[in-house]
Amino acid sequence: MAKAARETGRTGIDPRQLRDVLGAFATGVVVVTTQRRDGEPVGLTVNSFNSVSLDPPLILWSLSLAAPSLPAFRSHDFFGINILSERQRELCVRFARPAADKFAGVRFDRSVGGTPLLHDAAAHLVCRTYARYPGGDHEIYVGEVLSIEDFARPPLVFHQGSFRRLADMIEHEG
Ligand SMILES: Cc1cc2nc3c(=O)[nH]c(=O)nc-3n(C[C@H](O)[C@H](O)[C@H](O)COP(=O)(O)O)c2cc1C
C-alpha cells in the first residue's frame, strides 16, 4: 500500500488539483459516529460514504490516518452513518474540526453498541465493521448494515467545496 502511494506521487498529480477535480463529483454528507472505550461519543463529517452491496448489505467510507478519531473507530466494531439533512449545515461544519466537545448541545440517541444517532438527520444506518482496508493516507471501512431508518428529509449536498440544497440546484437548472 505504501508502494501505491509512492506511485501516485510519481504520476505527478498534485494532491490539491486532485481534490479540486474530485470536487466535481457532488455527494451527500454524513456524520459517522461511534464511541470511545470510555463510552464518550465520537463523530466526524465524511463525504467518502457510498454503497457497496445489497446482499449482504454493505457500505463503505474512508477515514484519514491523521484523524484524532481513528483510534476510536479501530477499537470499536459498531458505527453509525447519519445522512445529514439540508438544515444540518452547522452540524456538518462542527463535526469537520477536531474538538473534545463536538457533541455539546447536540441531540442524539444511542443505538446498538452505544452508537450515537443524531436527531433531525435525513437517514440513519447502524453498522458493524465488516472489513478495514489500507487506502493510502486513509483507512477504508466497510460496514455491514444492521438497521436503517429513512426520515425523508431533504439532504445536504456537497459540491466543489460548498454546501448546497438540492432544491436550489434543481431550480437553477430550470
Ligand atoms: C464535506 C467534508 C467531507 C469530509 N470527508 C472526510 C472523509 O471522507 N474522511 C475523512 O477522514 N475526513 C473527512 N473530512 C474531514 C473531517 O471531517 C475532519 O478531518 C475532522 O476533523 C475529523 O474528525 P476528528 O478530528 O475528530 O478525527 C471531511 C470534511 C468535510 C467538510
pLDDT at 10: 65
Quick one: average pLDDT of 144-171?
93
Q: Over the stretch 106-141, which tens digit does the pLDDT of each residue have?
A: 999 999 999 999 999 999 999 999 999 999 999 999
Q: Quick check: CB of 15 below 6 Å from ligand 1?
A: no
Question: What residues are paired with 51 via a beta bridge?
Answer: 59
CATH class of residue range 30-173:
mainly beta
Q: Report which ligand 1 atom has the smallest distance to the Cα of 48.
A: 8
pLDDT at 76: 98
Any idea which residue has 439540508 for its cell?
A: 86
Of residues 166 and 156, more confidence is placed in 156
Question: β-strands 27-28, 138-150: how paired?
Answer: unpaired
Domain residue spans of the chain: 30-173
Q: Over the stretch 5-38, which tens digit does the pLDDT of each residue have?
A: 444 566 799 999 999 999 999 999 999 999 999 9
Of residues 9 and 2, more confidence is placed in 9
What is the 8-class DSSP label of residue 120? T
What is the Å distance from ligand 1's center to 174 Cα? 33
